[in-house]
Structure 1
Amino acid sequence: MNVNLQKYTNLKICVAVSGGRDSMALLHYLNAHAAEYNITLTALNCDHGMRGETSARDSAFVAGYCEKAGIPLSSFVAGKKPTSENDARSWRFGCYLKESQNCDCVATAHHLNDNAETVLFNLARGTALAGMEGITDEDFSALAGRPFKLIRPFIACTRTEIDEYIEANSIPYVDDETNFKADYTRNKIRHNVLPALDEAVPGAARAIYRFSRLAAEDEEYLRRKADKLILRREPYGCYILFCGEKVIFRRAAAKIVAAYYGRKDYTSEQLEHLFELQFAENGKKFEFLGLYAFHEDGRVCITDKEVFSAAADGRPYADFLNLMTNKYCGQIAHICRYGDGEDHLDALRKGMPQVPFKALRFDGGKVPASSAVRFMRAGDKFTKFGGGTKNLGDWFTDKKIPVRLRGSIPLLADGNDILIVFGVEISEKVKVDKDTKDDMCAIAADYGKI
Structure 2
Amino acid sequence: MFEWYKTGSPRERKTFWACFSGWALDTYDAQMFSFLLPTLMAVWQISKGEAGMLGTAALLSASLGGWIAGILSDRYGRVRILVFTICWFTAFGALAGFAQSYEQMLVLRTLQGLGFGGEWAVGAALMAEVIRPEHRGKALGFVQSGFAIGWALAAVLMTALLANLPAETAWRVAFWVGVIPAMFVLFIRRHVKDPEIYRQAASQVTRKASLASAFGPDVVRLTLLGAMLVTGLQAAAYTIMVWLPTLMVQVRGLKPGPVVLTMLIMCAGAFAGFILTAYLADRFGRRPALLAFCLGAWLFTMLYMLVPMSPTALMLMSFPVGLFATGIFAVIGPFLSELFPTHIRTTCMGFSYNLGKSLGALSVAAVGVLSESFGLAQTIGGFCLVAYALAVTAVLLLPETRGLRLDAIIHRLQPTAADAPSTVQQPARPE
* Superposition TM-score, scaled by structure 1 size: 0.22
Q: Where is the helix percentage greater, Structure 1 or Structure 2?
A: 2
**Larger Rg over CA atoms:** 1
Q: Which has the higher contact order (CA 8 A, sep 6+)?
A: 2
* Superposition TM-score, scaled by structure 2 size: 0.22
